[in-house]
Amino acid sequence: MNTENLSTKKGLIIGLANDSSIAYGCLRALYEHGCREIIATYQSQKAYSYVKAACDKLGDIDLVEFNYSDEKSIEKLFDYVKEQFGKIDFIIHSMAFADKDSLHGKITDCTADGFTKSINISCYSLISCCRYAQKIMPDGGSILTMTYLGAHRVINNYGIMGPIKACLETTVKYLAAELAESNIRVFAVSPGPIATRAASGINHFDDLIEHAVTNSPMKRIVSIDEVGNLSVFLIDNLSSGMTGQTIYVDAGYFLMG
């Protein structure tokens, strides 16, 4: 892969939690392919020590506390990105949320408040990102978000996040169509089950992993580094003719019934 292009790129990664998070896999892959000008966000002071320790393994990463709550919070984040970089070439949106009752309970028991908060943080925040990204992506770029197979199939214990991810993937298609005129490409990356901090909130997550290993053609799960490598490709100019897709990196698990 031509890493010279990546050495000139600048971007934002939203959603670092620790060194096992998907966002960190993307950060590490970008860093290893020559991209150094990256701003990354963490959710809270509680997470900071884990994120800082992980990033220190790579180099001097600009870390910003960011907990999406409304339009003002994301506007403040993008004002900072503009102040630091002027313009950027990519955004990785790795942010999702569902409260325990909405995630663990039946869909029919999900409250309006639970659904609204989940779709606001997990999906609408991507729309907000794209709104502000247009202002600081004059040369175009790539915007990536993270999804899961539960958008298309009923996955045990995935709860309300299935419908939320389905909405996210459709949103990606519409955003890709709208932003194409600005040469901004939008993708949903769909990893298989990976043992991240976020995944630990799903009941019987070990069963999901076991099922993926047993039923995927490659008989294994993927790593955060493999997700990161796909992200590098989607940000690199080598993927310049692509936009709007949901792209699976799950050892072929999505193929199997």
| CA pair distance 39, 192, nearest whole angstrom | 26
Residue 42's beta-bridge partner residues? 16, 65
The token pair at 111 is 């409250």
Instruction: Please give the DSSP secondary-structure letter assigned to residue 107.
Output: G
Respond yes or no: is residue 148 known to be catalytic. Answer: yes
Respond yes or no: is residue 158 known to be catalytic. Answer: yes
Query: Of 31, 50, 158, 248, which one is the catalytic site residue?
Result: 158
Question: Which residue's structure tokens are 């790593």?
Answer: 223
The token pair at 256 is 């199997």
How does 42-77 read in b/e, with b if 16+ C-beta sit within 10 Å?
bbeeebeebbeebbeebeebebeebebeeeeebeeb
The token pair at 155 is 């996955």
How many Cβ atoms sit within 10 Å of the Cβ of residue 184?
23
| CA pair distance 227, 249, nearest whole angstrom | 6
Query: Of 31, 50, 124, 148, which one is the catalytic site residue?
Result: 148
How many Cβ atoms sit within 10 Å of the Cβ of residue 189?
25
Q: Which spans in the chain are helix H?
A: 4-7, 22-32, 45-56, 71-85, 100-104, 112-119, 125-133, 161-179, 205-215, 224-235
Residues acting as catalytic residues: 148, 158
